[in-house]
Structures are given as C-alpha cells and as structure tokens.
Structure 1
Amino acid sequence: MKILREGDRGYALAPDRGRVEIVYEYRTVELEKSNATVRNVLVGVDTETGEVLTVPAQSTPKLKAAREAKKEDVMSVRMPRELDDVLHLVADRYRVAPRQFAPAVIRYYLTLARVDADMARRLNTLSRSRLATGRCRKDLRLRIRPELLAWLRDVAVAPEGATRSAMVRGAIVAAKEDVLDDRARRRQRQLEAIARAV
C-alpha cells in the first residue's frame, strides 16, 4: 500500500468539471451521517477550489473509528470512592494514566464476562463484596459498545442478575484481586498489553 504524504499531488474527478489536479492536505472532516468531526485526516483537495474530492485509503480507518465511536453509548455508574482508588492503583501498577486505562480495564472484564459464564458469576458475586457496596459517591462515565450494553441489560433481568452498575463495580474488584492481590498472572499480562496500547 502506498502511503501518501501531505503535499503529494494527483488527480480526481470533480463534479461537472471532470478530471482535476488535487493536492493532499490534512483537514478536519465532518461526517454527515454520524455527525462526527474528525481532525487531521489526509484528503485530496481540488487545487483550484479547495473542495475535498477524495479520501485516500490510508485515511479510511481513522474515519471508520470515528463512526464506530459515535455508535458507542455512554454509561454512567455510581460507585464507592474506594473503587476509584482501586482503578488508580491498577493504573499506577502499569505506569499509565488512569483516565485512559480505567475504562479499558472495566471493558476488558465486562467483555470477558460476556463470553465466560464463570467470569460473569464472579463479577456478580464481587459486586456484593464489602468493597463494592460502600456509599456510592463517585460518578464514572464510560463509553461502551452497544452489544456489551445489551448484554448488561440481559444480565440485569436474568435470575440472580445484577445491575449494570453492580457488574462494573464487580469488574473493578476483580481487577483489584487479579492485579493488586496478584491472583491471575495471565490476566495481568493481558492488562499489561492493554496498558501499553492506551
């Protein structure tokens, strides 16, 4: 795959004018259907009018990621402040910023629980632990994929189910046990890989 650079030139078809010369520039692009704004996207711009005429293949993953992010729902959870401390301690263990890493840790455990009934039961059980059931004074907002949110809704209505907030609290306690209490080496390695990626 050829990677284009800013300033490269080429040709594209312009409506009503045919083939015109373009120059590749980084621009902010507004996506009509998803109402997303994406900065620093390489696009082919008409050299005469400044109109964006083409998007090279190397820019499509960035646009796709912005569309996908708009599809995610924001879930709000109330939790004890001590669980926020746990998230900061886990992030500190991997030497990453908690703001980016904490949501990734929670999504990791929820995704595991979605495909593993034992993990789902574990999170449900941990959501009733002393650490998870303190006074809920901390708000946590987290982006979550629609399919994971739908699964959380199903869990909440299942026999012996738990609320979405309870499952999130259980996920945080699971991270504490696995990382801070050194109980699960395999998951620690997976979380380390996630930490390096965020």
Structure 2
Amino acid sequence: MKILREGDRGYALASERGRVEIVYEYRTVELEKSNATVRNVLVGVDAETGEVLTVPAQSTPRLKAARDATKEKVMSVRMPRELDDVLHLVADHYHAAPKQFASAVIRYYLTLASSDADMARRLSALSKSRLATGRCRKNLRLRVQPELLVWLREVTVATEGATRSDLVRGAIMAAKEDVLDDRARQRQRALGAIAQAV
C-alpha cells in the first residue's frame, strides 16, 4: 500500500468540472451521519477551490474508528469498593495506569466469555463469591461495543440469569484469581501484552 504524504499531488473528479488536480492536506473532517469531528485527517483537496474531493485509503481507518466510537455504549456497573482495589492491584502488577487498564481487563474477560461457555459460567460463578457480593458502593463506567452488549444480554439467559453487572464483577474476580493468585500463566501473558498496549 502506498502511503501518501502531506503535499503530495494527484488527480480526482470534481462535480461539473471533471478531472482536477488535488493536493493532500491534513484537515478536520465532519462526519455527516454520526456528527463526529475528526482532526488531522489526510484528504485530497482541490488545488484551486480547497474543496475536499477524496479520502485516501490510509485515512479511512481513522474515520471508521471515529464512527465506531460514536456507536460505543457506556455500561454502568455497581460493585463493591474492594473490587476497585482488585483492579488497582492488577494494574499495579503490570505497572499500568489503572483507569485505562481496568476497562481493558474487563473487556478481555467478557470477550473471552463471549466465545467460551466455560468462561461465561466461571464469571457467573465468581460473581457470587463473598468478595464480589459485598455492598455495591462503587460505580464503574465501561465503554463497550454494541456487539458485546448484545452478547451480554444473551448470556444472562444461558448462565441462569446472571446480570451484566454480575459478569463484570465475575471478570474482575477472574483477573484476581488469574493474576494475583497466580493461577493462569497464559492469561497473565495476555494481560501483560494488553498492559503494554494501553
């Protein structure tokens, strides 16, 4: 794939004028359907009028990410404060920033459970543990893709009525067991890679 640079030139079709010369520039792009604004996107601009005529392939993933971000849902979960302590301990284990890493850990376990019925049952069972069933005084906000929310709705039926909150609390408890209690080396390595990425 050819990567274009700012200042590169080319040609594109302009309505009513046909083929015109363009220059590639970084601009702020407004996405019509999602009302999202994306800054610093490389686009092909009419050299005479300044009108945006084309978006190169290298810019489409940024625009797609901005569109997808508007589709993300925020899930709010009530949990015992001790589970927040667990998330901080797991983050500290990997020398990661707790705020970003905590969400990634939870999404990791929920995603595993979405394709593994045994993991789903494990999260459901762990949500009933003494530590996970304390007084829920902490509110956790978690961004998730709509597909994961759909799966969470489906799994509540398959796991004898476990709620989304139960599965999130179970995910935190699974991280405690796997990392802090040193039970699952493979998942520890995967979480280590996630910690380095966030």
TM interval, shorter chain, is: over 0.9
The Cα shift of 1:137 comes to 1.5
Task: Give the equivalent residue in structure 1 for 2:187.
Answer: 187
Task: Give the equivalent residue in structure 2 for 1:47.
Answer: 47
The more displaced of 65-74 and 87-96 is 65-74
Q: Distance in 1 between matches of 2:168 and 2:177?
A: 14
Q: Distance in 1 between matches of 2:120 and 2:156?
A: 11
Q: Distance in 2 between matches of 1:159 and 1:178?
A: 21
CA RMSD of aligned residues (A): 1.5
Q: Distance in 1 between matches of 2:49 and 2:11?
A: 14
Q: Distance in 2 between matches of 1:15 and 1:98?
A: 51
Tell me if structure 1 keeps the 8 A contact 2:121–2:159: no
Determine helix, strand or coil for the equivalent of 1:33.
coil
2:128 equivalent to 1:109: no
Q: Distance in 1 between matches of 2:30 and 2:80?
A: 39
Q: Distance in 2 between matches of 1:71 and 1:159?
A: 27
Determine helix, strand or coil for the equivalent of 1:23.
strand
Q: Distance in 2 between matches of 1:159 and 1:101?
A: 27
Task: Give the equivalent residue in structure 2 for 1:10.
Answer: 10
Task: Give the equivalent residue in structure 2 for 1:155.
Answer: 155
The Cα shift of 1:60 comes to 1.0
Tell me if structure 1 keeps the 8 A contact 2:120–2:159: no
Q: Distance in 1 between matches of 2:42 and 2:95?
A: 33
Unmatched segments (≥5 aa) in structure 2? none
Determine helix, strand or coil for the equivalent of 2:131.
coil
The Cα shift of 1:47 comes to 2.2
Unmatched segments (≥5 aa) in structure 1? none
The Cα shift of 1:72 comes to 2.3
Residue deviations 1:69-93, cap 9 Å, x none?
2222221111111111211221122
